[in-house]
Amino acid sequence: MATPILLSTLNARYAHSALGLRYLFAQLGALQTQAAIREFIISQRPLDIAEALLSESPRILGLGVYIWNVVESTALVALLKQVQPELIIVLGGPEVSHEWAQQPIVDLADYLITGPADLAFAGLCQRLLAGERPAQKVIQAARPPLGQITLPYRFYNDTDIAQRLIYVEASRGCPFRCEFCLSALDQTAWPFPLEPFLAELDRLHQRGVRQFKFVDRTFNLKAQVGARILDFFLERLDEQLFLHFELIPDHLPELLKARISRFPPGALQFEIGVQSFNPDVQARISRRQDNARSEANLHWLRQHSHAHLHTDLIIGLPGEDLASIATGFDRLVALDPHEIQIGILKRLRGTPIDRHSVAFDCRYNPQPPYNLLSSATLDFATLRRLERFARYWDLIGNSGRFRQTRPLLLGAAPFQRFLTFSDWLFARTGQTHQLALERLFDLLHEELVAALDVPEPAAYATLSADYQASGARGCPEFLRPHRDFRPKPTPATVTSRTTRQHRHRPEPGAF
């Protein structure tokens, strides 16, 4: 049976769901009976995706294009146009909403909707199905009043609820101007009407949803609204509830603290973008942040709440050198968040960060993810070292497997000691991926004792305790002389909250 309108995208993982597609479907109104959502993942072959899409004989394909799928999406569109050139392909999403003129995928497609396509896509479909072909290829969508948008949450199906993370948003936009972020173009933040939104959350909860990822850029911007939403979930607390919010680090009023402190362990995760503690760098990229207040709030959250704290730092911001990065990292480590996500600066299409490229000799990868390759303050070799630092930190500092060993590894100079370890580990293995857990424990033991002057009994004690706590069933080499060692199995019923983290998020209001 033919489906005239298909809405599709390539997610980074199966567990992700495309909120943007559901917004577009919700606005189709009477056309919903002629439409369907079809999601794929980037590991699938474009040829197989093309076959699946064409098997439904669509007349219109709306395709969401993001930084993580643009390469695969371009290959897919090329295949579709080769096999069925009469298929009308409409592109949307943040990757093609800016600097689109030279993008091959835009050349291949029939139409492009830039900006929030909620209402614009429905209008275009009506015209196309009526036999009207607009002459204008690029349609610049205006921001629709959020009260006029039909909320999309009922279009999460039972499979989504059972197997995927459910994305929701109480607001769009951001009032800040951080130049590395596309939200710098928003000018402001604007909320959805609160009562209809809470009613939708209640319906999702009644359907069995217990994991909600809020994609709001600034969830704690308006304390009264945030408090109402937290109250909603406090009234429905159970041991399966898991909430993810993105917080501004320097804004945590008592109204929110009073509610945050009531959530039990494992229920809350906060993504907190610190990015840099350097005030000169902050000013240069138009980032307003009270560092002292940010530190005080992070300290409060660590000491007085059970929230899992996922903090972000960016390496490569214009004018920030290695010494400044080290200072910021050490400052954040001292606050002891559960995770420090270290990212290399990316020049996302349309972001104002590009205005510093000449002055600071910023050179970016021309291919996704458009990461910084070198600058006036960080040469290519140094940035490669820092990329490895970030990867190894994920494996060790963020994994949760080295809780007792991490303080021993970092000592009094966390950045310098971990950079030393990172350099040694790469020289020793030549790998940043596919490092088996047992081997990683052995390598840590070797480096702690041989290069970082940690007494062997202390290295053994912490690493053996961490290995037992990990639930792994093998036996690293450094443990084998100790015949009394027995791995401690992890109960099958225990599920780590860390496994629920999904760092790729869709751009709401786009494809």
Report the distance separating Cα 415 and Cα 423, nearest Å: 12
pLDDT single digits (tens) 285-321: 999 999 999 999 999 999 999 999 999 999 999 999 9
Token pair listed for 154: 């009922």
Point out the least confidently predicted range of 223-237, 339-353, 488-502. 488-502
Point out the least confidently predicted range of 3-17, 85-99, 308-322, 446-460. 446-460
Report the distance separating Cα 42 and Cα 49, nearest Å: 10
CATH of the domain at 131: 3.40.50.280
Report the distance separating Cα 474 and Cα 487, nearest Å: 7
**pLDDT value at position 481?**
84
Q: Which of 146, 174, 205 is where one domain is finished?
A: 146
Mind giving me the DSSP string for 211-268? Answer: EEEE--TTTTSSHHHHHHHHHHHHTT--TT-EEEEEE-TT---HHHHHHHTTSPTTSE
Q: Which of 328, 357, 378 is where one domain is finished?
A: 378
- Tokens 């070292």 correspond to 385
- The model's confidence at residue 496, banded by pLDDT at 50, 70 and 90, is very low
Q: Are residues 227 and 355 in the same domain?
A: yes
Q: Are residues 169 and 236 in the same domain?
A: yes
Contact (Cβ atoms closer than 8 angstroms) between residue 249 and residue 221:
no
Class of residue 59 by CB neighbours under 10 A (exposed 0-12, middle 13-18, buried 19+): middle
Q: Are residues 95 and 184 in the same domain?
A: no
- The model's confidence at residue 488, banded by pLDDT at 50, 70 and 90, is low
Residue 138's Cβ-side half-sphere holds a number of Cα atoms within 13 Å equal to: 14
pTM (predicted TM-score): 0.92
Percentage with pLDDT > 90 across the chain: 89
Class of residue 320 by CB neighbours under 10 A (exposed 0-12, middle 13-18, buried 19+): buried
Q: Are residues 194 and 281 in the same domain?
A: yes
Token pair listed for 27: 């606005």
Q: Are residues 336 and 243 in the same domain?
A: yes
Residue 282, beta-bridge partner list? none
Assigned domain for 132 exists: yes
User: Could you tell me the residue range of the domain that residue 53 belongs to?
Assistant: 5-146
pLDDT single digits (tens) 153-201: 999 999 999 999 999 999 999 999 999 999 988 878 999 999 999 999 9
- The model's confidence at residue 483, banded by pLDDT at 50, 70 and 90, is low
CATH of the domain at 243: 3.80.30.20
pLDDT single digits (tens) 105-142: 999 999 999 999 999 999 999 999 999 999 999 999 99
Q: Are residues 102 and 171 in the same domain?
A: no
Q: Are residues 194 and 92 in the same domain?
A: no
Report the distance separating Cα 88 and Cα 159, nearest Å: 29
Report how far Cα 96 is from the mean position of its chain's Cα atoms.
19
**pLDDT value at position 493?**
38
Assigned domain for 97 exists: yes
Tell me the torsion sign for CA atoms 174, 210, 308, 504.
negative
Q: Are residues 70 and 133 in the same domain?
A: yes
Residue 451's Cβ-side half-sphere holds a number of Cα atoms within 13 Å equal to: 18
- The model's confidence at residue 345, banded by pLDDT at 50, 70 and 90, is very high
Residue 242, beta-bridge partner list? 211
- The model's confidence at residue 486, banded by pLDDT at 50, 70 and 90, is low
**pLDDT value at position 499?**
46
Q: Which of 378, 396, 422 is where one domain is finished?
A: 378
| Tally of structural domains, the chain | 2
